[in-house]
Amino acid sequence: MAEVKKQERDFTPEVDALLPESESLSKSGRLSEALDKLFALEKQTRNASDLASTTRLAKAALDQCYEARDYAQLNVTITLLSKKHGQLKGVVQSIVEKAIAWLPEIRQRQGEAKWLELVETLRAVTEGKIFLETPRARVTLVLSHYHESLSQQPPAKPPVVKESLQTASDLLSDLQVETYSSMERREKTEFILEQMRLLIALARLKDAEVAGKDRKDGKSAIAGGEPEWVKARVGGRKVNETFLKEKENEDLKLKFYDLMIQQALHQTAYLEVAKHYEKVWDTPSIKDDESKSRAALEHIVYYVVLAPHNNEQSDMLHHWFVNPALEKLELHYNLVKSFVTRELMRWPGIESIYGSFLQTTPVFSNAKQWEDLHTRVIEHNIRVVSEYYTRIALSRLTTLLDLTPQQTEETLARLVVSKAIWARIDRPAGVVNFTPKRSAEDVMNDWSSDMQKLLGLVEKTWMGMNAALAAQSRIKA
Protein backbone atom coordinates (compact mmCIF):
# COMPACT_ATOMS: atom_id res chain seq x y z
CA MET A 1 0.00 0.00 0.00
CA ALA A 2 1.19 3.49 -0.79
CA GLU A 3 1.92 6.08 1.83
CA VAL A 4 -0.61 8.86 2.22
CA LYS A 5 0.37 11.63 -0.19
CA LYS A 6 -1.08 15.01 -0.95
CA GLN A 7 -3.72 14.97 -3.69
CA GLU A 8 -2.20 16.30 -6.90
CA ARG A 9 -5.37 16.66 -8.97
CA ASP A 10 -9.13 16.31 -8.71
CA PHE A 11 -10.58 13.93 -11.32
CA THR A 12 -14.23 14.39 -10.30
CA PRO A 13 -15.36 15.81 -13.73
CA GLU A 14 -13.69 12.95 -15.63
CA VAL A 15 -15.19 10.36 -13.28
CA ASP A 16 -18.67 11.93 -13.56
CA ALA A 17 -18.42 11.70 -17.33
CA LEU A 18 -17.06 8.14 -17.47
CA LEU A 19 -19.38 6.36 -15.01
CA PRO A 20 -22.60 6.64 -17.10
CA GLU A 21 -20.70 5.58 -20.22
CA SER A 22 -19.18 2.51 -18.58
CA GLU A 23 -22.51 1.59 -17.04
CA SER A 24 -24.24 1.63 -20.42
CA LEU A 25 -21.45 -0.53 -21.90
CA SER A 26 -21.82 -3.01 -19.05
CA LYS A 27 -25.60 -3.26 -19.46
CA SER A 28 -25.18 -3.87 -23.17
CA GLY A 29 -23.05 -6.93 -22.44
CA ARG A 30 -19.64 -5.32 -23.00
CA LEU A 31 -18.38 -5.71 -19.42
CA SER A 32 -14.70 -6.13 -20.35
CA GLU A 33 -14.70 -2.91 -22.37
CA ALA A 34 -16.40 -1.04 -19.54
CA LEU A 35 -13.85 -2.31 -17.00
CA ASP A 36 -10.93 -1.37 -19.28
CA LYS A 37 -12.16 2.23 -19.40
CA LEU A 38 -12.61 2.32 -15.61
CA PHE A 39 -9.16 0.83 -14.98
CA ALA A 40 -7.50 3.30 -17.36
CA LEU A 41 -8.91 6.29 -15.47
CA GLU A 42 -8.39 4.56 -12.10
CA LYS A 43 -4.65 4.42 -12.78
CA GLN A 44 -4.57 8.19 -13.29
CA THR A 45 -6.61 8.94 -10.15
CA ARG A 46 -4.48 6.53 -8.10
CA ASN A 47 -1.21 8.11 -9.23
CA ALA A 48 -2.65 11.54 -8.45
CA SER A 49 -3.71 10.32 -4.93
CA ASP A 50 -7.33 11.28 -5.60
CA LEU A 51 -8.89 9.00 -2.98
CA ALA A 52 -12.51 9.96 -3.61
CA SER A 53 -12.34 9.45 -7.38
CA THR A 54 -10.34 6.20 -7.10
CA THR A 55 -12.88 4.84 -4.61
CA ARG A 56 -15.80 5.73 -6.90
CA LEU A 57 -14.16 4.03 -9.88
CA ALA A 58 -13.26 0.88 -7.88
CA LYS A 59 -16.79 0.60 -6.50
CA ALA A 60 -18.26 1.13 -9.95
CA ALA A 61 -16.11 -1.70 -11.33
CA LEU A 62 -17.35 -4.04 -8.58
CA ASP A 63 -20.98 -2.95 -9.03
CA GLN A 64 -20.90 -3.65 -12.75
CA CYS A 65 -19.40 -7.13 -12.22
CA TYR A 66 -22.01 -7.88 -9.58
CA GLU A 67 -24.95 -6.63 -11.67
CA ALA A 68 -23.71 -8.69 -14.62
CA ARG A 69 -23.62 -11.74 -12.29
CA ASP A 70 -20.06 -12.38 -13.43
CA TYR A 71 -18.70 -13.59 -10.09
CA ALA A 72 -15.45 -14.91 -11.54
CA GLN A 73 -14.73 -11.43 -12.90
CA LEU A 74 -15.81 -9.94 -9.57
CA ASN A 75 -13.18 -12.00 -7.74
CA VAL A 76 -10.53 -11.10 -10.29
CA THR A 77 -11.42 -7.40 -10.07
CA ILE A 78 -11.21 -7.37 -6.26
CA THR A 79 -7.80 -9.05 -6.35
CA LEU A 80 -6.54 -6.82 -9.16
CA LEU A 81 -7.61 -3.56 -7.54
CA SER A 82 -6.12 -4.52 -4.17
CA LYS A 83 -2.74 -5.39 -5.73
CA LYS A 84 -2.36 -2.30 -7.90
CA HIS A 85 0.95 -0.54 -7.38
CA GLY A 86 0.54 2.35 -4.97
CA GLN A 87 -3.09 1.50 -4.24
CA LEU A 88 -4.65 3.68 -1.55
CA LYS A 89 -5.67 2.01 1.72
CA GLY A 90 -9.04 3.71 1.72
CA VAL A 91 -9.85 2.19 -1.68
CA VAL A 92 -9.03 -1.35 -0.57
CA GLN A 93 -11.08 -0.89 2.60
CA SER A 94 -14.06 0.33 0.57
CA ILE A 95 -14.07 -2.53 -1.94
CA VAL A 96 -13.63 -5.15 0.82
CA GLU A 97 -16.51 -3.74 2.87
CA LYS A 98 -18.70 -3.55 -0.26
CA ALA A 99 -17.97 -7.18 -1.16
CA ILE A 100 -18.64 -8.35 2.40
CA ALA A 101 -22.09 -6.75 2.24
CA TRP A 102 -22.92 -8.92 -0.80
CA LEU A 103 -22.01 -12.24 0.87
CA PRO A 104 -25.48 -13.10 2.29
CA GLU A 105 -27.25 -12.32 -0.98
CA ILE A 106 -24.76 -14.26 -3.12
CA ARG A 107 -25.06 -17.28 -0.82
CA GLN A 108 -28.84 -17.21 -1.02
CA ARG A 109 -29.06 -16.56 -4.75
CA GLN A 110 -26.06 -18.38 -6.25
CA GLY A 111 -25.35 -21.10 -3.72
CA GLU A 112 -22.39 -21.89 -1.54
CA ALA A 113 -19.86 -22.55 -4.32
CA LYS A 114 -19.83 -18.94 -5.60
CA TRP A 115 -20.09 -17.69 -2.01
CA LEU A 116 -17.02 -19.67 -0.94
CA GLU A 117 -15.02 -18.32 -3.89
CA LEU A 118 -15.76 -14.75 -2.84
CA VAL A 119 -14.98 -15.53 0.82
CA GLU A 120 -11.60 -17.01 -0.08
CA THR A 121 -10.88 -14.02 -2.35
CA LEU A 122 -11.61 -11.62 0.50
CA ARG A 123 -9.46 -13.62 2.91
CA ALA A 124 -6.59 -13.57 0.42
CA VAL A 125 -6.92 -9.82 -0.14
CA THR A 126 -7.05 -9.01 3.59
CA GLU A 127 -4.24 -11.35 4.65
CA GLY A 128 -1.34 -9.60 6.36
CA LYS A 129 -2.92 -6.13 6.23
CA ILE A 130 -3.32 -4.57 9.68
CA PHE A 131 -5.81 -1.96 8.42
CA LEU A 132 -8.05 -4.83 7.21
CA GLU A 133 -7.78 -7.04 10.31
CA THR A 134 -11.36 -6.39 11.42
CA PRO A 135 -13.00 -7.17 8.03
CA ARG A 136 -10.81 -10.28 7.77
CA ALA A 137 -11.96 -11.41 11.21
CA ARG A 138 -15.62 -10.97 10.25
CA VAL A 139 -15.21 -12.92 7.01
CA THR A 140 -13.30 -15.66 8.85
CA LEU A 141 -16.10 -15.91 11.43
CA VAL A 142 -18.65 -16.46 8.64
CA LEU A 143 -16.43 -19.12 7.07
CA SER A 144 -15.93 -20.80 10.44
CA HIS A 145 -19.69 -21.01 10.98
CA TYR A 146 -20.03 -22.56 7.51
CA HIS A 147 -17.57 -25.35 8.37
CA GLU A 148 -19.28 -25.89 11.71
CA SER A 149 -22.62 -26.26 9.91
CA LEU A 150 -21.09 -29.04 7.78
CA SER A 151 -20.45 -31.02 10.97
CA GLN A 152 -24.11 -30.72 11.97
CA GLN A 153 -25.62 -32.09 8.75
CA PRO A 154 -27.49 -35.41 9.38
CA PRO A 155 -25.54 -37.71 7.02
CA ALA A 156 -22.17 -36.45 8.28
CA LYS A 157 -19.85 -39.28 9.37
CA PRO A 158 -17.63 -38.99 12.48
CA PRO A 159 -14.41 -38.27 10.51
CA VAL A 160 -16.22 -35.52 8.55
CA VAL A 161 -17.68 -34.05 11.72
CA LYS A 162 -14.27 -33.95 13.38
CA GLU A 163 -12.56 -32.48 10.31
CA SER A 164 -15.19 -29.78 9.90
CA LEU A 165 -15.09 -28.80 13.56
CA GLN A 166 -11.29 -28.82 13.50
CA THR A 167 -11.28 -26.49 10.49
CA ALA A 168 -13.85 -24.17 12.05
CA SER A 169 -11.88 -24.00 15.29
CA ASP A 170 -8.51 -23.49 13.61
CA LEU A 171 -9.86 -20.66 11.45
CA LEU A 172 -11.04 -18.68 14.48
CA SER A 173 -8.14 -19.60 16.75
CA ASP A 174 -5.69 -18.08 14.26
CA LEU A 175 -7.24 -14.66 14.91
CA GLN A 176 -5.62 -12.76 17.79
CA VAL A 177 -8.57 -10.38 18.08
CA GLU A 178 -7.53 -9.19 21.56
CA THR A 179 -4.73 -7.20 19.83
CA TYR A 180 -7.01 -5.55 17.24
CA SER A 181 -7.17 -1.82 17.95
CA SER A 182 -9.84 -1.15 15.32
CA MET A 183 -12.36 -3.60 16.79
CA GLU A 184 -14.82 -2.64 19.52
CA ARG A 185 -14.57 -4.38 22.91
CA ARG A 186 -17.93 -6.07 22.58
CA GLU A 187 -17.08 -7.53 19.18
CA LYS A 188 -13.69 -8.69 20.49
CA THR A 189 -15.42 -10.45 23.38
CA GLU A 190 -17.89 -12.12 21.00
CA PHE A 191 -15.00 -13.44 18.90
CA ILE A 192 -13.15 -14.80 21.95
CA LEU A 193 -16.31 -16.52 23.19
CA GLU A 194 -16.81 -18.10 19.77
CA GLN A 195 -13.21 -19.34 19.85
CA MET A 196 -13.82 -20.87 23.28
CA ARG A 197 -17.14 -22.44 22.22
CA LEU A 198 -15.63 -24.15 19.18
CA LEU A 199 -12.58 -25.32 21.13
CA ILE A 200 -14.79 -26.90 23.80
CA ALA A 201 -17.02 -28.54 21.19
CA LEU A 202 -13.94 -30.00 19.47
CA ALA A 203 -12.45 -31.09 22.80
CA ARG A 204 -15.64 -32.94 23.75
CA LEU A 205 -15.68 -34.67 20.37
CA LYS A 206 -12.06 -35.81 20.74
CA ASP A 207 -12.62 -36.94 24.32
CA ALA A 208 -15.63 -38.99 23.25
CA GLU A 209 -13.61 -40.48 20.40
CA VAL A 210 -10.79 -41.55 22.72
CA ALA A 211 -13.21 -42.88 25.34
CA GLY A 212 -14.90 -45.03 22.71
CA LYS A 213 -11.69 -46.71 21.63
CA ASP A 214 -9.90 -49.61 23.20
CA ARG A 215 -7.18 -47.94 25.27
CA LYS A 216 -4.96 -50.98 25.77
CA ASP A 217 -2.10 -49.12 24.10
CA GLY A 218 -1.99 -46.87 27.16
CA LYS A 219 -2.41 -43.56 25.37
CA SER A 220 -2.35 -40.55 27.66
CA ALA A 221 -5.20 -38.05 27.96
CA ILE A 222 -3.25 -35.65 25.73
CA ALA A 223 -4.35 -37.85 22.81
CA GLY A 224 -7.90 -36.63 23.41
CA GLY A 225 -9.12 -33.06 23.59
CA GLU A 226 -6.78 -31.84 26.33
CA PRO A 227 -4.92 -29.35 24.07
CA GLU A 228 -8.24 -27.74 23.14
CA TRP A 229 -9.29 -27.57 26.81
CA VAL A 230 -6.04 -25.77 27.60
CA LYS A 231 -6.57 -23.30 24.75
CA ALA A 232 -10.13 -22.65 25.94
CA ARG A 233 -8.84 -21.97 29.45
CA VAL A 234 -6.29 -19.51 28.06
CA GLY A 235 -9.06 -17.85 26.02
CA GLY A 236 -11.11 -17.37 29.19
CA ARG A 237 -8.30 -15.28 30.66
CA LYS A 238 -8.51 -12.85 27.74
CA VAL A 239 -12.06 -11.81 28.64
CA ASN A 240 -12.38 -8.73 30.86
CA GLU A 241 -14.91 -9.71 33.53
CA THR A 242 -15.34 -6.07 34.60
CA PHE A 243 -16.56 -5.25 31.09
CA LEU A 244 -19.12 -8.06 31.36
CA LYS A 245 -20.68 -6.45 34.42
CA GLU A 246 -22.16 -3.65 32.30
CA LYS A 247 -25.89 -4.07 31.79
CA GLU A 248 -25.76 -4.08 27.99
CA ASN A 249 -23.29 -6.98 28.08
CA GLU A 250 -25.37 -9.38 30.18
CA ASP A 251 -25.86 -11.77 27.26
CA LEU A 252 -22.08 -12.04 26.83
CA LYS A 253 -21.65 -12.49 30.59
CA LEU A 254 -24.05 -15.44 30.70
CA LYS A 255 -22.45 -17.03 27.65
CA PHE A 256 -18.96 -16.57 29.12
CA TYR A 257 -19.81 -18.16 32.46
CA ASP A 258 -21.61 -21.02 30.75
CA LEU A 259 -18.37 -21.81 28.89
CA MET A 260 -16.31 -21.38 32.06
CA ILE A 261 -18.64 -23.79 33.91
CA GLN A 262 -18.07 -26.40 31.20
CA GLN A 263 -14.33 -25.82 31.48
CA ALA A 264 -14.35 -26.15 35.29
CA LEU A 265 -16.53 -29.28 35.20
CA HIS A 266 -14.05 -30.92 32.85
CA GLN A 267 -11.35 -30.32 35.49
CA THR A 268 -13.71 -31.41 38.31
CA ALA A 269 -13.05 -27.99 39.88
CA TYR A 270 -16.34 -27.85 41.78
CA LEU A 271 -15.50 -24.70 43.75
CA GLU A 272 -14.78 -22.83 40.51
CA VAL A 273 -18.13 -24.03 39.15
CA ALA A 274 -19.86 -22.70 42.28
CA LYS A 275 -18.13 -19.33 41.84
CA HIS A 276 -19.23 -19.12 38.21
CA TYR A 277 -22.82 -19.94 39.14
CA GLU A 278 -22.59 -17.25 41.82
CA LYS A 279 -21.69 -14.71 39.10
CA VAL A 280 -24.63 -15.96 37.03
CA TRP A 281 -27.00 -15.67 40.01
CA ASP A 282 -25.74 -12.12 40.62
CA THR A 283 -26.85 -11.02 37.13
CA PRO A 284 -29.90 -8.67 37.24
CA SER A 285 -31.78 -10.47 34.45
CA ILE A 286 -31.35 -13.79 36.28
CA LYS A 287 -32.43 -12.35 39.62
CA ASP A 288 -35.55 -10.91 37.99
CA ASP A 289 -36.53 -14.37 36.69
CA GLU A 290 -37.55 -16.47 39.69
CA SER A 291 -37.07 -19.86 38.00
CA LYS A 292 -33.60 -18.98 36.65
CA SER A 293 -32.58 -17.44 39.96
CA ARG A 294 -33.68 -20.58 41.83
CA ALA A 295 -31.84 -22.86 39.38
CA ALA A 296 -28.61 -20.85 39.74
CA LEU A 297 -28.90 -20.86 43.54
CA GLU A 298 -29.48 -24.62 43.61
CA HIS A 299 -26.37 -25.19 41.49
CA ILE A 300 -24.31 -22.97 43.80
CA VAL A 301 -25.34 -25.18 46.74
CA TYR A 302 -24.67 -28.42 44.87
CA TYR A 303 -21.18 -27.50 43.76
CA VAL A 304 -20.01 -25.74 46.92
CA VAL A 305 -21.00 -28.89 48.83
CA LEU A 306 -19.19 -31.07 46.28
CA ALA A 307 -16.00 -29.00 46.50
CA PRO A 308 -13.16 -30.41 48.64
CA HIS A 309 -12.85 -28.73 52.03
CA ASN A 310 -10.42 -25.80 52.34
CA ASN A 311 -10.55 -22.29 53.75
CA GLU A 312 -12.07 -20.81 50.61
CA GLN A 313 -14.74 -23.51 50.35
CA SER A 314 -15.57 -23.17 54.05
CA ASP A 315 -15.92 -19.38 53.76
CA MET A 316 -18.22 -19.70 50.76
CA LEU A 317 -20.31 -22.39 52.47
CA HIS A 318 -20.81 -20.27 55.61
CA HIS A 319 -21.51 -17.16 53.50
CA TRP A 320 -24.37 -18.88 51.72
CA PHE A 321 -25.66 -20.47 54.93
CA VAL A 322 -26.46 -17.01 56.33
CA ASN A 323 -27.75 -15.66 53.01
CA PRO A 324 -31.52 -14.95 53.26
CA ALA A 325 -32.05 -16.13 49.67
CA LEU A 326 -31.10 -19.68 50.64
CA GLU A 327 -33.69 -19.88 53.43
CA LYS A 328 -36.42 -19.95 50.76
CA LEU A 329 -35.08 -23.33 49.58
CA GLU A 330 -35.71 -25.47 52.64
CA LEU A 331 -34.11 -28.70 51.45
CA HIS A 332 -30.99 -26.98 50.13
CA TYR A 333 -30.73 -24.87 53.29
CA ASN A 334 -30.85 -28.01 55.44
CA LEU A 335 -28.21 -29.67 53.25
CA VAL A 336 -25.84 -26.73 53.74
CA LYS A 337 -26.68 -26.67 57.47
CA SER A 338 -25.63 -30.32 57.75
CA PHE A 339 -22.17 -29.45 56.43
CA VAL A 340 -21.85 -26.29 58.53
CA THR A 341 -22.87 -27.95 61.80
CA ARG A 342 -20.04 -29.79 63.58
CA GLU A 343 -21.97 -33.00 63.96
CA LEU A 344 -21.75 -36.41 62.35
CA MET A 345 -23.80 -37.06 59.21
CA ARG A 346 -24.55 -40.73 58.74
CA TRP A 347 -24.57 -41.48 55.02
CA PRO A 348 -27.65 -43.78 55.12
CA GLY A 349 -29.59 -40.94 56.76
CA ILE A 350 -28.40 -38.38 54.21
CA GLU A 351 -29.26 -40.78 51.41
CA SER A 352 -32.77 -41.38 52.73
CA ILE A 353 -33.52 -37.66 53.31
CA TYR A 354 -31.96 -36.09 50.21
CA GLY A 355 -31.29 -38.99 47.84
CA SER A 356 -34.74 -39.25 46.23
CA PHE A 357 -34.65 -35.55 45.27
CA LEU A 358 -30.97 -34.98 44.52
CA GLN A 359 -30.61 -37.98 42.22
CA THR A 360 -33.32 -36.56 39.95
CA THR A 361 -31.27 -33.39 39.37
CA PRO A 362 -28.87 -33.08 36.40
CA VAL A 363 -25.96 -32.70 38.83
CA PHE A 364 -26.41 -35.80 40.98
CA SER A 365 -27.93 -38.01 38.31
CA ASN A 366 -24.25 -38.40 37.34
CA ALA A 367 -22.92 -41.38 39.30
CA LYS A 368 -19.48 -39.80 39.76
CA GLN A 369 -20.87 -36.65 41.36
CA TRP A 370 -23.15 -38.67 43.62
CA GLU A 371 -20.11 -40.64 44.76
CA ASP A 372 -18.23 -37.36 45.28
CA LEU A 373 -21.04 -36.21 47.59
CA HIS A 374 -20.63 -39.43 49.58
CA THR A 375 -16.91 -38.69 49.82
CA ARG A 376 -17.54 -35.15 51.11
CA VAL A 377 -19.89 -36.51 53.80
CA ILE A 378 -17.21 -38.98 54.93
CA GLU A 379 -14.55 -36.26 54.97
CA HIS A 380 -16.85 -34.01 57.02
CA ASN A 381 -17.41 -36.81 59.52
CA ILE A 382 -13.68 -37.45 59.89
CA ARG A 383 -13.05 -33.74 60.55
CA VAL A 384 -15.77 -33.79 63.22
CA VAL A 385 -14.32 -36.92 64.84
CA SER A 386 -10.82 -35.38 64.84
CA GLU A 387 -12.17 -32.38 66.78
CA TYR A 388 -13.87 -34.43 69.51
CA TYR A 389 -11.41 -37.35 69.83
CA THR A 390 -7.70 -37.43 70.44
CA ARG A 391 -7.60 -41.22 69.91
CA ILE A 392 -10.26 -43.58 68.60
CA ALA A 393 -10.38 -47.29 67.80
CA LEU A 394 -10.29 -47.97 64.06
CA SER A 395 -13.27 -50.32 64.39
CA ARG A 396 -15.31 -47.58 66.08
CA LEU A 397 -14.33 -45.02 63.43
CA THR A 398 -15.29 -47.48 60.70
CA THR A 399 -18.72 -47.86 62.29
CA LEU A 400 -19.23 -44.09 62.56
CA LEU A 401 -18.28 -43.58 58.91
CA ASP A 402 -20.32 -46.55 57.61
CA LEU A 403 -17.28 -47.77 55.66
CA THR A 404 -15.05 -50.82 55.47
CA PRO A 405 -11.67 -50.68 57.29
CA GLN A 406 -9.83 -50.36 53.96
CA GLN A 407 -12.05 -47.48 52.79
CA THR A 408 -11.59 -45.77 56.15
CA GLU A 409 -7.80 -45.98 55.89
CA GLU A 410 -7.82 -44.71 52.29
CA THR A 411 -9.99 -41.73 53.20
CA LEU A 412 -7.84 -40.92 56.24
CA ALA A 413 -4.69 -41.12 54.12
CA ARG A 414 -6.13 -38.78 51.51
CA LEU A 415 -7.10 -36.17 54.13
CA VAL A 416 -3.70 -36.41 55.82
CA VAL A 417 -1.88 -35.95 52.51
CA SER A 418 -4.02 -32.90 51.68
CA LYS A 419 -3.26 -31.58 55.20
CA ALA A 420 -6.95 -31.26 56.01
CA ILE A 421 -6.32 -33.14 59.29
CA TRP A 422 -3.41 -34.66 61.23
CA ALA A 423 -3.72 -38.37 61.96
CA ARG A 424 -1.64 -41.51 62.46
CA ILE A 425 -2.90 -45.10 62.33
CA ASP A 426 -1.47 -47.67 64.74
CA ARG A 427 -2.41 -50.84 62.88
CA PRO A 428 -1.23 -53.40 65.48
CA ALA A 429 -3.23 -51.64 68.19
CA GLY A 430 -6.07 -50.74 65.81
CA VAL A 431 -6.07 -47.11 66.99
CA VAL A 432 -6.20 -43.80 65.12
CA ASN A 433 -4.41 -40.92 66.82
CA PHE A 434 -5.54 -37.38 65.95
CA THR A 435 -3.10 -35.57 68.27
CA PRO A 436 0.20 -34.61 66.64
CA LYS A 437 3.41 -35.31 68.49
CA ARG A 438 4.48 -32.19 70.32
CA SER A 439 8.02 -30.89 70.53
CA ALA A 440 9.70 -30.07 73.84
CA GLU A 441 9.43 -26.38 73.01
CA ASP A 442 5.65 -26.64 72.51
CA VAL A 443 5.27 -28.51 75.82
CA MET A 444 7.28 -25.88 77.67
CA ASN A 445 5.31 -23.05 76.07
CA ASP A 446 2.03 -24.67 77.13
CA TRP A 447 3.41 -25.30 80.63
CA SER A 448 4.50 -21.66 80.92
CA SER A 449 1.10 -20.46 79.74
CA ASP A 450 -0.70 -22.73 82.22
CA MET A 451 1.52 -21.54 85.08
CA GLN A 452 0.77 -17.91 84.24
CA LYS A 453 -2.95 -18.67 84.29
CA LEU A 454 -2.57 -20.49 87.65
CA LEU A 455 -0.61 -17.62 89.22
CA GLY A 456 -3.20 -15.19 87.92
CA LEU A 457 -5.97 -17.17 89.61
CA VAL A 458 -3.99 -17.37 92.87
CA GLU A 459 -3.43 -13.62 92.84
CA LYS A 460 -7.09 -12.95 92.12
CA THR A 461 -8.14 -15.29 94.95
CA TRP A 462 -5.68 -13.66 97.38
CA MET A 463 -7.01 -10.18 96.57
CA GLY A 464 -10.58 -11.43 97.10
CA MET A 465 -9.72 -12.91 100.48
CA ASN A 466 -7.99 -9.69 101.60
CA ALA A 467 -11.04 -7.68 100.57
CA ALA A 468 -13.32 -10.02 102.55
CA LEU A 469 -11.09 -9.82 105.67
CA ALA A 470 -11.00 -6.02 105.46
CA ALA A 471 -14.79 -5.86 105.25
CA GLN A 472 -15.17 -8.14 108.33
CA SER A 473 -12.76 -6.04 110.39
CA ARG A 474 -14.73 -2.88 109.62
CA ILE A 475 -17.98 -4.56 110.71
CA LYS A 476 -16.48 -5.71 114.02
CA ALA A 477 -15.11 -2.23 114.67
**What confidence score (pLDDT) does residue 103 get?**
93
Please compute the mean of the pLDDT values over residues 6-19 and round it to a whole number.
86
- Examine residue 404 and state whether it is found in any structural domain, yes or no: no
Asked if residue 277 and residue 144 are part of one domain, the reply reads no
pLDDT grade for 7, boundaries at 50, 70 and 90: confident
Asked if residue 146 and residue 20 are part of one domain, the reply reads yes
- Examine residue 243 and state whether it is found in any structural domain, yes or no: no
DSSP 430-454: TEEE-SPPPPHHHHHHHHHHHHHHH
Please compute the mean of the pLDDT values over residues 197-203 and round it to a whole number.
94
Could you give phi then psi for residue 4, rounded to 5 degrees? -70, 120
248-281 pLDDT, tens digit per residue, is 999 999 999 999 999 999 999 999 999 999 999 9
- Examine residue 337 and state whether it is found in any structural domain, yes or no: no
Strands (DSSP E) contained in 228-329 are none
Last residue of a domain, one of 100, 121, 152: 152
Distance CA 161, CA 164 (A): 5
Average pLDDT along the chain:
89
- Examine residue 206 and state whether it is found in any structural domain, yes or no: no
Distance CA 330, CA 401 (A): 26
CA distances from 408 to 84, 350, 374, 399 (A): 78, 18, 13, 10
Residue 281: alpha-carbon gap to chain centroid:
16
For the cut 70, the answer to whether the pLDDT of residue 357 exceeds it is: yes
36-51 pLDDT, tens digit per residue, is 989 999 899 988 888 9
307-346 pLDDT, tens digit per residue, is 999 899 999 999 999 999 998 899 999 999 999 999 999 8
Decide: pTM greater than 0.85: no
The domain tally of the chain equals 2
Distance CA 401, CA 413 (A): 15
Residue-wise burial string across 104-131, b where 16 or more C-beta atoms lie within 10 A, e elsewhere? eebbeeeeeebbebbbebbeebbeebee
Percent of the chain clearing pLDDT 70 (strictly above): 96
Higher-pLDDT residue of 217, 185: 185
- State the virtual CA torsion across 452, 458, 464, 465 in degrees, nearest 10: -160
Q: Return the CA Rg of the chain.
A: 36
141-196 pLDDT, tens digit per residue, is 999 999 999 888 776 677 788 889 999 999 999 989 988 888 899 999 999 999 99
Last residue of a domain, one of 314, 338, 365: 314
- Examine residue 477 and state whether it is found in any structural domain, yes or no: no
Distance CA 391, CA 369 (A): 32
**What confidence score (pLDDT) does residue 217 get?**
53
- Examine residue 180 and state whether it is found in any structural domain, yes or no: no
User: According to DSSP H, which parts of 359-438 are helical?
Assistant: 367-388, 394-401, 405-417
Distance CA 103, CA 56 (A): 21
For the cut 50, the answer to whether the pLDDT of residue 91 exceeds it is: yes
Distance CA 470, CA 476 (A): 10
pLDDT grade for 1, boundaries at 50, 70 and 90: low
Domain that holds residue 270: 252-314
In what side-by-side order are the strands of the sheet with 391-393?
Answer: 391-393, 431-433, 424-426
- Examine residue 357 and state whether it is found in any structural domain, yes or no: no
Please compute the mean of the pLDDT values over residues 376-388 and round it to a whole number.
90
Whether 70 contacts 77, CB under 8 Å: no
Asked if residue 147 and residue 23 are part of one domain, the reply reads yes
3-state helix, strand, coil in the chain (%, to 5): 75, 0, 25
For the cut 60, the answer to whether the pLDDT of residue 67 exceeds it is: yes
**What confidence score (pLDDT) does residue 450 get?**
86
Distance CA 466, CA 477 (A): 17
For the cut 50, the answer to whether the pLDDT of residue 216 exceeds it is: no
Please compute the mean of the pLDDT values over residues 84-95 and round it to a whole number.
90
Going by their DSSP bridges, the two strands 391-393 and 431-433 should be labelled as: antiparallel
Asked if residue 263 and residue 146 are part of one domain, the reply reads no
- Examine residue 237 and state whether it is found in any structural domain, yes or no: no
Whether 96 contacts 58, CB under 8 Å: no
**What confidence score (pLDDT) does residue 151 get?**
83
DSSP 60-80: HHHHHHHHTT-HHHHHHHHHH
* Dihedral sign, Cα of residue 304, residue 308, residue 309, residue 311: negative
